[in-house]
Amino acid sequence: QKEVEQDPGPLSVPEGAIVSLNCTYSNSAFQYFMWYRQYSRKGPELLMYTYSSGNKEDGRFTAQVDKSSKYISLFIRDSQPSDSATYLCAPGYSSASKIIFGSGTRLSIRP
Amino acid sequence: GAGVSQSPRYKVAKRGQDVALRCDPISGHVSLFWYQQALGQGPEFLTYFQNEAQLDKSGLPSDRFFAERPEGSVSTLKIQRTQQEDSAVYLCASSLAQGATEAFFGQGTRLTVV
């Protein structure tokens, strides 16, 4: 079993829709939970970062972590064509360790 | 520039050839990471430096892979006797703090072994 499981998509939604992206993980030692966004032929860029369980909101983006069910979510409100990218969930053991990436979900927002 | 810089952007190597990939992290960043990303997959961890010390090399797939950061800034990932399965994008990331929670990635080096 992979440490991080993520539906690869592709996921295609119309502009303005609410998007829900999800990951599950197996290791309860993960404490840091990140979402990275990767545009085609670019490196990943950090989108959201949360520590332990709970919600974090940043503009149109909300990250949710449920450690009891080992479930990570990213919600995008009022989606825009510029949100079209691959979204990678990335839990980490501690602030001083490597990140484990999911396989990424490819998202396309139709104008 | 202010970001992580990787060179070359593209590299084509004949099977059996040695290659060296360079990473210039953001100035002053303590931590440096190398990742390998196969097509359609997420990045896979290779190795981690804190300054010049290589603290974790558990992800290096074989003894053909070697990384160094001798002065705690620029890093080089070397692959000896390249194989076709080494074809991937190699990503470098750096972070100011001790860990990876706010790592900044370069654009990567796309290696194709023919």
pLDDT in tens, B22-39: 999 999 999 999 999 999
Structure confidence at residue A94 (pLDDT) = 67
pLDDT for the residue numbered B108: 97
Tokens of B50: 């804190």
Q: Would you state the pLDDT for residue A96?
A: 57
Mean pLDDT over B45-56 rounds to 94
pLDDT band at B62 (very low <50, low <70, confident <90, very high): very high
What tokens were used for B45?
């961890």
Q: Kindly identify which residue of chain A lies nearest to residue B32, measuring between CA atoms.
A: A98
Q: Which residue among A45, A99, A103 sits closest to B100, beta carbon to beta carbon?
A: A99
pLDDT one-digit tens code per residue, B81-95: 999 999 999 999 998
Q: Which residues of A76-110 are buried (b: 16+ CB within 10 A; e: fewer)?
A: beebeeebbbbbbbbbbbebbbbbbbbbbbbbebe
Distance from CA of B80 to the nearest CA of A (A): 24
Lowest-pLDDT choice from A22-26, A31-35, B4-8:
A31-35
- Residues on chain A touching B59 (C-beta within 8 angstroms): 98
Predicted pLDDT of residue B61: 94
Q: Which residue of A has its CA nearest to B43?
A: A101
Q: What is the mean pLDDT of residues B68-80?
A: 97
- Collect all residues from B whose CB is shorter than 8 A from any CB in A: 4, 33, 35, 40-45, 48, 50, 56, 59, 91, 93, 97-108
Mean pLDDT calculated for residue range B32-59: 94
> In this complex, which of A44, A45, A49 lies closest to B43 when CB atoms are compared?
A44
Over residues A21-26, the mean pLDDT reads 94
Q: What is the pLDDT of residue A51?
A: 83
Decide: residue B70, CB within 10 A, 0-12 exposed, 13-18 middle, 19+ buried: exposed
Alpha carbons A48 and A4: distance in angstroms, whole number: 17
Q: Check CB contact of A91 with chain B, cutoff 8 Å.
A: no
Interface probe for B, chosen from A97, A98, A100, A105 (most Cβ of B below 10 Å), is A98
pLDDT of residue B56: 92
Find out whether A110 and A15 touch, Cβ atoms under 8 Å: yes
Asked if A46 and B45 come within 8 Å (Cβ–Cβ), the reply is: no
pLDDT at A63 over 70: yes
Q: Lowest-confidence range among A60-64, A96-100, B52-56, B64-68?
A: A96-100
- Distance in angstroms (rounded) separating the CA atoms of residues B21 and B88: 12
**Mean pLDDT, rounded, of chain B:** 94
